[in-house]
Amino acid sequence: MTRKLIPGRLVIASHNEGKVREITALLGPYGVAPVSAGALGLPEPEETGTTFAQNAALKALASATASGLPALADDSGLEVAALGGRPGVYTADWAERQWFEGEKGRDWYMAMGKVEGLLCEIGPDVDRSAAFVCTLCLAWPDGETALFEGRAEGSLVWPPRGTMGFGYDPVFLPHGAELTFAEMAPEAKHAISHRAEAFNKLVAALF
Ligand code: IMP
């Protein structure tokens, strides 16, 4: 039987503001008091895994052991069918750019443009199907972990549309929807997103 999560403090093992905002909203009704790894000054481990599950586990374990509290990590990304599933676990890396010497930043418009450029190279009839994937890992300070996965299927639009959400939301049109994730109100995204699907599985198992 899966170990249960006792209401109390929980570290969100992420330094990504968009993810912290969404996970905090999803945790709202469950009596846990989330605090982000960034707010606690916990170090951000290097994501050396080659799967979402490996990276989620290494981030959750790093925060749980450093803080002595249960920690929840999210590793997620965009899988584009015509690109053989890329960028996948490297989704955040595709947005990395050197702004000036020594300083790194993330440029989501550059990253979305990179994906679009590769699709254009394939040709005008390219399959534009894509999926957002999310693996959540809950780690306890004693090293026990539990993993949950979610997926949102859709297609990529160009040019980007909308200003809500984060990351690649402006180019992702979920199946059956007319609005991109960045055009939807947060509650509408939470009803169908990869993160919400993984989160619902976590709630069913741990609360
Ligand atoms: P990582 O999990 O921190 O390696 O980063 C995953 C990256 O995938 C994020 O930085 C976003 O760019 C992208 N991503 C994951 N989930 C979403 C989402 O819900 N909307 C838009 N982009 C996302």
**What is the structure's pLDDT at 36?**
93
What domain count does the chain have?
1
Helices (H) and strands (E) in the chain, counts: 5, 8
Give the Cα separation of 198 and 129 in Å (integer). 21
Question: Which spans in 85-172 are helix H?
Answer: 108-122
Lowest mean pLDDT among 37-41, 80-84, 138-142, 150-154: 37-41
Q: Where are the beta strands (DSSP E) in 2-144?
A: 9-12, 33-36, 71-80, 96-100, 103-106, 129-139
76 in any annotated domain? yes
Q: For the segment 172-186, what is each residue's pLDDT rounded down to a tens digit?
A: 999 999 999 999 999
**What is the structure's pLDDT at 5?**
86
138 in any annotated domain? yes
CB 57 within 8 Å of CB 73: yes
133 in any annotated domain? yes
**What is the structure's pLDDT at 6?**
81
Give the pTM.
0.92
Domain holding 182, by residue range, is 8-206
154 in any annotated domain? yes
Which is catalytic among the residues 75, 125, 127, 142?
A: 75
**What is the structure's pLDDT at 103?**
67
Position 2 pLDDT exceeds 80 = no
CB 120 within 8 Å of CB 164: no
Q: Which conformational region is residue 62 in: left (phi greater than 0), alpha (psi within -120 to 50 degrees), or beta?
A: alpha
Q: How far is the CA of 148 from the centre of ligand 1 (A)?
A: 16
Provide the 3-class DSSP secondary structure of residue 138: strand
Mutate which of 91, 93, 96, 192 to test ligand 1's pocket (most atoms within 8 Å of Cβ)? 91
The percent of residues in the chain predicted with pLDDT above 70, rounded, is 98
- Known catalytic membership, residue 142: no
CATH for 134: 3.90.950.10
Position 100 pLDDT exceeds 80 = no
168 in any annotated domain? yes
Q: How far is the CA of 77 from the centre of ligand 1 (A)?
A: 5
**What is the structure's pLDDT at 33?**
86
Most confident of 36-45, 96-105, 174-183: 174-183
Provide the 3-class DSSP secondary structure of residue 158: coil
Confidence of residue 97 (pLDDT cuts 50, 70, 90): confident
Cβ-proximal residues to 171 (8 Å cutoff; 6+ apart), any chain: 112, 115, 116, 156, 157, 158, 160, 161, 180
Residues in the ligand 1 pocket, defined by CB under 6 Å: 16, 47, 75-78, 91-92, 132, 165-169, 181, 193, 195
Q: How far is the CA of 19 from the centre of ligand 1 (A)?
A: 8
3 in any annotated domain? no
